[in-house]
Amino acid sequence: MDYVDLNLIEALDALLAENSVTKAADRLHTSPPAMSRALARLRRAFNDPLLVRAGRDLVPTPRALELKSEVHAVATSARALFGPSNAADPRSAVRLFDLQVSDMLSTTFLPALMDDLRTEAPGISLRLRPESLKDATPLREGTVDLEIGTIRSVDPEIHSETLATETLVGVVRPEHPLAKVRTVTPRRFAAADHIVMSRRGEAHGPVDEQLAGLGLTRRVVAIVPSFGTALFLARETDAVCVAPARLGRHMLDVLGLRTFAIPFELPAVRLGMAWHPRNHHDRTHWLLRERTRHIMSTIVDPSLSA
């Protein structure tokens, strides 16, 4: 046969279990005429009557008896395939996930996530992929399982979720003139040399737009692709950079840098995660997202970890 209606497997399993068209119909919540038609098709498919009349009952033929256990096994497997997943507890799963994590999260969020997974899901390993200039392509192509950081525009097919919002602060070394004044004014801020962190190499951004509104401009002396490089240069030179107040705190403390409030309003930085629909219902991927959500919330509000 070139084509087999797989619904007939379920019908044959019921017929061989019940030895009755009526009872088989009840079992599959269908009508006796529909079950009779299914039996007729099965007889043609197997070239065997399968069930024959014996008085008021139906009895299986030798061919039907040969088929009974195998048909039941196939029908059971088919039902399990479409049933709820019986996969192992994701907390005990052994998986390697590819993550793309914003550079600013590498010193605070990432160590906390690794420590958390060591307890909550020790079989999960993380492989960090470099940040891509193409926002959704790695997720779509499957080279990245989860993107965490500043989620820009994504394809409509991509799932995304905001995890936290961050306030930006100015950062300088202790010897910098701005570290020694009581109030950093917009004019003093603009007069300093600046380091810009941009993975796309862009010098102009929200800071410049706000300064322009005040009739001011700044001098950008370096454009760097990573948060860590920007902070290192701020420690070694008399240049200013900006950093997230909470998620950057650990690295700021390690480098001994000083912070100050930026003297004009900047839009909050939205941090989130994004993933492809292929992983949306995966239980272990769901656990990774849940732990990511939890860790981000405890960093933003440490009282939640108590």
User: Is the same domain home to 276 and 155?
Assistant: yes
Contacts of 18-21 with C-beta under 8 Å, sequence gap 24+, read: 19/51, 19/57, 19/58, 19/59, 19/60, 20/57, 20/58, 21/58
Are 27 and 14 a contacting pair, CB within 8 Å? yes
User: Is the same domain home to 276 and 248?
Assistant: no
Domain membership of residue 211 as a residue range: 168-266
User: Is the same domain home to 153 and 98?
Assistant: yes
Domain contains 193: yes
pLDDT at residue 306 in the model: 47
What three-state secondary structure class fits 198?
coil
Tell me which of 47, 82, 117 is where a domain ends. Answer: 82
pLDDT at residue 150 in the model: 84
Tell me the whole-structure pTM to 2 decimals. 0.68
- DSSP characters over 203-221: ---HHHHHHHHTT---EEE
Specify burial of residue 91 (Cβ count, 10 A radius: 0-12, 13-18, 19+): middle
Residues 6+ apart with CB under 8 A from 58: 19, 20, 21, 51, 52
- The CATH number of the domain where 110 resides is what? 3.40.190.10
pLDDT tens-digit profile, the chain (306 residues): 445 677 888 999 999 988 999 999 998 889 999 999 999 999 998 999 999 988 878 899 999 999 888 888 888 887 777 765 555 688 888 999 999 998 878 778 899 999 999 999 999 999 998 876 565 678 888 899 999 988 875 678 889 999 998 899 999 999 999 999 999 999 999 999 999 998 788 888 899 999 999 999 999 999 998 888 999 999 999 999 999 888 888 888 889 999 999 999 998 888 999 999 999 989 999 999 999 999 998 887 665 554
pLDDT at residue 87 in the model: 57
pLDDT at residue 293 in the model: 95
Residues 6+ apart with CB under 8 A from 70: none
Domain contains 161: yes
Alpha-carbon distances of 197 from 205, 231, 235, 242, 256, rounded to whole Å = 10, 9, 15, 8, 19
Residue (of 302, 225, 251) closest to 110 by Cα position: 251
| DSSP class of 242 | E
